[in-house]
Amino acid sequence: MLIVDDQKVVRHTLSLCLRNLGYEGCYEASNGKEAKRVIEEHQIDVIFCDLNMPVEDGFEVLRYLGASHYQGAIVLMSSEEQDVLQSTSQLARLYNLQIIGCLPKPLTAADIKSMLLDWAALPTVSMGKLLNEGALSSEQLIQFIEQGSVKAYFQPQIDLNTQAIQGFEVLARIEESPQKILMPDLFIPAAEGDATLILALTKSIIQSAYEDVKQHWDYVSSLSFSFNISGRVLEHDNFPNWLKDISEKYSIPTHQIVCELTETALNDDQAITDAQMLRMRMLKFKLSIDDFGTGYSSIAQLHAIPFNELKIDKCFIFDCLTNSKSATVVEQSVKMAKALGLTVVAEGVESAEVVEFLHRLGCDSAQGYFYAKPAPLSDFISETWFINRAYPQ
Ligand code: G
Ligand code: G
Ligand code: MN
């Protein structure tokens, strides 16, 4: 275990407490810099990390752990209010880090004990390793890709001014059998760990979607198609040109293709990703910033890259009618997007009331279960609202 805190008394108390609980030999670090050194040199299963430290703070430690794909558990500690701790643990999840608890300061032995007991009792969290149950191995995934089991599902995006469909987001599924459809959480995280694999997967989803689009072209020729593009995919220099070539092959104009990039995807080498995004723009693809509001680098990125669209994350949309903080995030995101000349899509719209709220704020379009769940493209072609091009009000 590793304790990172600038206050000696905190480190001392916590270390004593852990020893009493049977955890011997804790490492200690008084700032982020020292913590990184310990993590590089030792196998650490649990990190207790303070947020406010003068040299390199807890946020820097989290960023570092995310970048180095740390697999162990993390406990956040702070005298900040509970909602700051909560938001920080949400941030950490974006880095695929495992936060097992947030301890308010001053620490108490009882809090520490109950949290560690819960953690030890969790079946999925074994020391230092996290097993994602049911997740596909790389070999399985490669096999599914090769046998053509990767399928594109389509979720409509509705123009809030006209109630007409304006396009689809394409979401990956694997058809293990006609009865068994595997969801992305079973294969995307693993694929993203391997730049070659996520590239192969992304290409096969796009190819599969283009086949469907071509087949139904007469019905969808005016619509946009959004793909989720992981930052790892952009590490491949020739991806933008590959996308241009395949779009030409299927006669789909590049301005109808939207590349959704998540903030977390925009990671390690900023210069490379930025250059790739600019290439995409020069080829006339549209760029969208996905899951907006859940990361913390978004504003800087909006500045640096000519995005066309901003997608407000569903976590803010879900409770925007009951949670004033979410409502504020939605409202401000719309305002900011408008000021920057971007179109705004709200994701996770589940009710007519939310549609109404978004429309009032000036949000351009909406996507969510209220309209439709992701499904094969052919399912939509026969729907009357689709044919009539207006969603019933
Ligand atoms: O489809 P679902 O509704 O369960 O999607 C879950 C998550 O998987 C979403 O966050 C989405 O961005 C991601 N996802 C779905 N399809 C793709 C894909 O083709 N590529 C990448 N990189 N992520 C995807
Ligand atoms: O992260 P990304 O925005 O790419 O992923 C979109 C995800 O959101 C997909 O998993 C999709 O199935 C899901 N989704 C879309 N609309 C809704 C909704 O209205 N409710 C819920 N719960 N999930 C939604
Ligand atoms: Mn998306």
Question: How much of the chain, in percent, has pLDDT values that exceed 90?
Answer: 56
CA-nearest residue, atom 16 of ligand 2? 368
Residue 295, pLDDT score: 64
Taking the centre of ligand 2 as the mean of its atom positions, its distance from the CA of residue 347, in whole angstroms, is 7
184 pocket-lining for ligand 1 (C-beta < 6 Å): yes
171 pocket-lining for ligand 1 (C-beta < 6 Å): yes
Alpha-carbon distance of 242 to 189, in angstroms, equals 23
Alpha-carbon distance of 300 to 157, in angstroms, equals 27
351 pocket-lining for ligand 2 (C-beta < 6 Å): no
Query: Would strands 180-182 and 150-159 be described as parallel, antiparallel, or unpaired?
Result: unpaired
Residue to substitute in 96, 263, 290, 347 for testing ligand 2 pocket (most ligand atoms within 8 angstroms of CB): 347
369 pocket-lining for ligand 2 (C-beta < 6 Å): yes
Mean pLDDT of the chain, nearest integer: 88
User: What is the pLDDT confidence band of residue 11, given thresholds at 50, 70 and 90?
Assistant: very high
Residue 39 C-alpha from the chain's centroid: 26
Residue 125, pLDDT score: 38
130 burial via Cβ count (<10 Å: 0-12, 13-18, 19+): middle
Residue 128, pLDDT score: 32
Spell 225-263 as b/e; 16+ CB within 10 A means b.
bbbbbbbbbbbbeebbebbbeebeeeebeeebbbbbbbb
Residue 293 CA: which ligand is closest?
2
Taking the centre of ligand 3 as the mean of its atom positions, its distance from the CA of residue 290, in whole angstroms, is 6
> Is the pTM for the entire model greater than 0.75?
no
Residue 259 CA: which ligand is closest?
3
Taking the centre of ligand 2 as the mean of its atom positions, its distance from the CA of residue 366, in whole angstroms, is 11
Q: Residue range 246-266: average pLDDT?
A: 89
Residue 157, pLDDT score: 98
Q: Answer whether residue 173 shows pLDDT above 70.
A: yes
Instruction: For 305-327, write each residue's pLDDT tens digit.
Output: 789 999 999 999 999 999 998 99
Residue 81, pLDDT score: 76
Residues less than 5 Å from ion ligand 3, measured at CB: 228, 260, 290
**When comparing pLDDT for 296 and 346, which is higher?**
346
Instruction: For 50-68, write each residue's pLDDT tens digit.
Output: 988 888 888 889 989 988 8
